[in-house]
Every structure is written in C-alpha cells, then in structure tokens.
Amino acid sequence: MDLKDLYQEIILDHGKNPRNLGKFDNYNKDAKGNNPLCGDNVHVYLRLNENKKVEDIAFEGHGCAISMASASIMTDMVRGKEEKEVKEIVTDFLGMIKEKDSLETNILKEDEKTKLMSLSGVKQYPMRVKCATLSWHTLTSALDNSDQIVKTED
Amino acid sequence: MNIDDIKREFPIFDDKIQNNDLVYLDSANSSQKPRIVVDRIYDFYTKEFSNVGRSVHYLAVAATNLYEQTRVSVQKYINAKDKDEIVFTKGATEAINLVANTFGQKYLSEGDEVLLTELEHHSNYVPWHFLRKAKNIKIEFAEINDNGEVTLEAIEKKITNKTKIISVSHLSNVTGAILPIKEIVQLAHSKNIPVLIDGCQGAPHLKLDMQDIDCDFYAISGHKMYGPTGIGILYAKKKWLEDLPPYQGGGGMINEVKKEGITYGELPNKYEAGTMATAQVIAFNESIKFMEKIGIQNIEKHEKELLDYGLEKLRKNNSVNIIGNPKEKGGVISFTIEGVHPHDIATILDEDGVAIRAGHHCCQILHDKLNLPATARASFGVYNTKDDIDKLDEAINKCKKIFNL
C-alpha cells in the first residue's frame, strides 16, 4: 500500500476545490446518498434535456477528500453525455474501482480515463471504496428516479 | 506499575501489524485482550466445556460454578449489594434495551418523558426512540455546554413532572466529559425518578461503587474492559429486577411452563433466557482479575497522565482542534484538522500503524450540535504510553504534509 497512490495531486486538488459543487435551479432529476458509517452525504442534481443528454450536473454534500474528489471528477466527466453513455461510464467506473485493472468504455477519451484512473488507488483500501463510489451510485439513483436514499450499508 | 510489563500481557503487541509496531488508540471503541482472557476461552472450550444451569453431570456443574463465579466477581468489583443484581447480557446495548423495553412496558405511557443528554451514544437513544414510536412518549435532551460537558444544572432544567426515567452516560466517548452521576442520581431520586447510567466508557476507566452512586441501573460493556466480545452486564437494583417484567422468553428463565400459563424463574435467571455466552462470561472473570491486579486507581492515574500529555502535545500542533474541554475528562481526545477530513486522517495515520477512529462515533446528535459531520478520535487504554502519543503527533504531521498544510 502506498499513500501516494491514494492521495494523488489530482485527488487532493478536486478534494480541496470540488468542481460543480452547489445546486442549480432548473434540475429535473436528483437523488441523495449517505454513508451511515461515517455520516458523509451527497446530493446529486442534474438536468436531462429532451434528447436525454446531461445538460448540467452538480452536487452538494460533505465528505473526505476521496468522496469529494470522486463526485467532482464524476460531474465533470458526465456533463454533455447521453443517459445511456452515462450509465456505461458508471458501470465501467464501478467495475474498475472494485476489480478490473482498467477502464474499458470507448465513450471516454484517453485523458478522461487517466483522470478517472487517479481514483484507482482506493482499491487497496477496501474500507474507503465506499467513499469513492457513493456519488456514482447516487447518480444512478437520480437517473432512475428512485426515491430511495442511496446507502452504502445495504 | 510498569507499562512495558503490562503491554507484554497483550499478545496483539507481539507482532508487527502491516510492518508497523501497533499504536492502538481505539480503546473507547474496543480494548485489546490480555493473554489470560484469550487463554481462558481456549481452555474452557478444550477442557471444561458444558452448558450451564441445566444438566447435573460433572462438567455442567463445574461450568455453572465458573459462570456464577464471574457474577460474584462483578458484584464485588462494582460493589453491588447482591450478586442477583448482576445480569449478563450480550453487551451494554442489550442491557439498555432490556431496561428501556421492560421499564417502558410497565411504567411509560403517552406523554411521559425520558430524559437523555445530547452526548449519548446511539445505544442510549435508539432503544428509547422505539418507545417514542410504540407508546408516543417524549424524549428530552439535556444540553451540552461549550466545554462539551453536561452539568447537573443542564439536567435539572429538563426535568418536568412528566419525567419518568433519566438515562445518561458516565463518560462521553467523544468529548471525554465525566458526568456528575452521583449528583444526578441524588437530584433524580429527590423527585422519585430512577436513573440508568450508560457505563460503557466509565467502567473500564473509573472506580465503580454501585452502592455509593446509588443509581438504579448501570450498563457495562465487557469488550471495552479487556474482556471478550458478546458479554455485557446490567447492574440493576434488586427491587427493579423483581418488579419489572422479563425481557426475552426462552429456556432457563422460567419456573413452570403449562399450556394455560407460565411462571418465571427467580433472579438472576429471569433475565437470562437461552444459552448465554458462557465462555465469554467465564473469561470475563479474568478481565476483572486483570484490572484488579493493576488496580483501578493506577489505571486512572496512568490514563490521566496520558491525557494531560496528549492534550499538551496536540494543542501545540498547529491546525489541530480539540473537541470539548471538560474539567473532568477521561482518556479520550477527539479532534479535527482544518482542511483534512477525519477519514483521510485515519487512513494516513493507519499507514504508520496508528489506529484511531474517525466518524461520528455513534453520536450523531452530538456531532450535529457541534456542527461537525465527523471527528477523529484517539482513546487510551492501560497499555498505551507517551511514546504512542508522540507517534500520533508525528503521524498527524505527515497528514498535514500530504495535504500541503
């Protein structure tokens, strides 16, 4: 295990200055997620246009550097993508965080993949995987219009 | 007392953990176990095992005697009047649930109030919340002050003529505040209100005298007292155990069972339904002996020295904020570092073998009040040394470096 794999510069940067933090007015989908073990929470807001494209996305919440960075990078990555593409990215990301060595989707460009892979160090810290995945599960829940609050402890 | 000798009694410190010497600062969560406790479990299962209180064969009688010896040891350790006032449970959580459930059944009805404090652990809130749902009772919370303490006055302020029971912590697992429980009991009794003390953090660190404190109920967690998991104690005055209904039904707690009705067993069997955590109860006797051998006064003194040293050290460390400043404080230091989330602190400290806890420590009400989603917490046990605190301080500095503070 190496802390440098976990706390890469890009993570520290997004953790400290999260992009897309806050709420915007004309969202049409949203969902909440929380981690009852640590009290971290996230609320994802997004606007899907008539072509099912993510026009805008933002999040509110608080948490550790990993969870804030993950939500920040996620929101950057899915803006402008179609719902179907977003779901593919989410599945690919969750697969990578849990087991796979790399990302497989063709939707993301190489530099975007590199950015996402900065979160892969979490794999070596099983207790912290939930920190990285909470906002992604919450995004799925928002897209599926689920009223259920996403919990990491199901 | 020699801490190095004491530390050697704990096998967990024999080997490296992830290539580090273990700096275990999570004893408020659960303490490590001395060899005699671990060995006792092994010996019981390999040489002496039988169920207790039922059969008449040799092993059953011997096991029953061992099981009952722990009851007497606990009675003496906490200076209870009668051994029948000691009920074994699966933990302090079950002890509190037992009281909330049985007292609630018999004595609480709509509009009645239960008085807790803002610093209670979830296990001294959720069981009462069940009654709020089931019986429409109210729950009041005595407030903490800026030092993270709950004063006698704060309790008094919330007592009304509807208050039916007061249930408070002995020692806060977050701020470390030691509550004036004896005074709280005196005040409550002057108004005919019974008191339950959640002694999870009190029992491992402070001298206990039930007859002196005079509380009605006191809940103890075995695994925080250098004992096994799966064992807790409910101390309750005999009059309550005789008066309240049984908690769980099953074998061992009955007197006579007929199709038309059932009578219940005598104390303490009335509250010990089913096969209990026999090996753990028997091994817990060794935990009591271990603490008696060192002496609770010596444990208190040692942990106070560690606390003073730790507070001094961390106060000098820039960007560390210590949560709460109670006058009477146990060996718990909760803190935050400006700009680093407690979970990140815990992960980074762990890399150097420094085990702390991060989160809300099962005290969300308190963290909401403090307006903090989470804190980091270092807590002490008898095996900790000043060197452990130095290592904590160094690891905090490493944390600050990673986050460019």
**B210-265 tens-digit pLDDT:** 999 999 999 999 999 999 999 999 999 999 999 999 999 999 898 999 999 999 98
Is residue B114 one of the residues assigned to a domain? yes
- Decide if B124 contacts B97 (C-beta within 8 A): no
Q: Does one domain contain both B230 and B317?
A: no
Q: Does one domain contain both B76 and B18?
A: no
Q: How many domains does chain A have?
A: 1
- The CATH number assigned to the domain holding A103 equals 3.90.1010.10
Is residue A148 over pLDDT 90?
no
Q: Is B362 a catalytic residue?
A: yes
Q: Does one domain contain both B164 and B202?
A: yes
Q: Does one domain contain both B187 and B308?
A: no
Q: How many domains does chain B have?
A: 2
8 Å CB contact of A1 and B374 = no
Say how far residue A137 (Cα) sits from the centre of its chain: 8
Where in the sequence is the domain holding B164, given as residue range(s)?
A: 38-292
Residues of B in contact with A8 (CB under 8 A): none
Q: Does one domain contain both B263 and B335?
A: no
**B112-127 tens-digit pLDDT:** 999 999 999 999 999 9
Percent of chain A at pLDDT exceeding 90: 77
Length in residues, chain B: 405
- What confidence category does residue A153 fall into, taking pLDDT thresholds of 50, 70 and 90? low
* Domain-terminating residue out of B231, B263, B292: B292
Give the active site residue among B200, B362, B363, B399: B362
Distance, in Å, from the CA atom of A13 to the CA atom of B41, rounded to the nearest integer, reads 50
**B76-105 tens-digit pLDDT:** 999 999 999 999 999 999 999 999 999 999
Task: Choose among A16, A39, A125: nearest Cβ to B373.
Answer: A39
In this prediction the ipTM stands at 0.87
Is residue B381 one of the residues assigned to a domain? yes
Q: Does one domain contain both B286 and B299?
A: no
Where in the sequence is the domain holding A82, given as residue range(s)?
A: 3-143
Contacts 24+ apart (CB under 8 A), B159-162: B159/B115, B159/B187, B159/B188, B159/B191, B159/B193, B160/B113, B162/B111, B162/B112, B162/B113, B162/B138
Tell me which chain B residue has its CA closest to the CA of residue A131.
B343
Is residue A95 one of the residues assigned to a domain? yes
Is residue B85 one of the residues assigned to a domain? yes
Is residue A49 one of the residues assigned to a domain? yes
Is residue B80 one of the residues assigned to a domain? yes
Q: What average pLDDT does range A78-82 have in this prediction?
A: 95
- Nearest-Cα distance to chain B for A84, in Å, is 33
Q: Does one domain contain both B180 and B314?
A: no
Beta bridge partners of B23: B354
- Decide if B310 contacts B392 (C-beta within 8 A): yes
**Type of residue at A77:** M
Task: Give the model's pLDDT for residue B54.
Answer: 82
- The CATH number assigned to the domain holding B17 equals 3.90.1150.10
* Domain-terminating residue out of B292, B318, B341: B292
- Spell out where B305-397 has E strands: 320-322, 332-337, 354-355, 357-359, 375-379
Is residue B31 one of the residues assigned to a domain? no
**Type of residue at B2:** N
DSSP H helical segments within B220-268, as ranges? 238-243
Percent of chain B at pLDDT exceeding 90: 94
Q: Does one domain contain both B101 and B20?
A: no
C-alpha dist (Å) from residue B249 to B7, B132, B245, B260, B265: 42, 23, 11, 16, 11
Q: Does one domain contain both B305 and B194?
A: no
- Nearest-Cα distance to chain B for A121, in Å, is 13
Q: Does one domain contain both B238 and B314?
A: no
Q: Does one domain contain both B288 and B299?
A: no
- Decide if B165 contacts B103 (C-beta within 8 A): yes
Q: What is the mean pLDDT of chain B?
A: 96
DSSP B48: I
First to last CA, chain B: 40
- The CATH number assigned to the domain holding B242 equals 3.40.640.10
Distance, in Å, from the CA atom of B377 to the CA atom of B324, rounded to the nearest integer, reads 12
- Provide the 10 A C-beta neighbour count for residue A126: 9
Task: Give the model's pLDDT for residue B5.
Answer: 95
Is residue A32 one of the residues assigned to a domain? yes
Chain B interface test: which of A3, A37, A131 (most B C-beta within 10 Å): A3
Is residue B100 one of the residues assigned to a domain? yes
Is residue A85 one of the residues assigned to a domain? yes
Q: What average pLDDT does range B378-401 have in this prediction?
A: 97
Is residue B128 one of the residues assigned to a domain? yes
**B303-358 tens-digit pLDDT:** 999 999 999 999 999 989 999 999 999 999 999 999 999 999 999 999 999 999 99
Is residue B361 one of the residues assigned to a domain? yes
C-alpha closest to that of A146 among A26, A44, A75 = A44
What is this structure's pTM? 0.93
**A5-60 tens-digit pLDDT:** 899 999 999 999 999 999 999 999 999 999 877 778 899 999 999 999 999 999 99
Task: Choose among B18, B343, B373: nearest Cβ to A131.
Answer: B343
**A49-65 tens-digit pLDDT:** 999 999 999 999 999 99
**CB proximity list for B94: less than 8 A, separation 6 or greater:** B232, B234
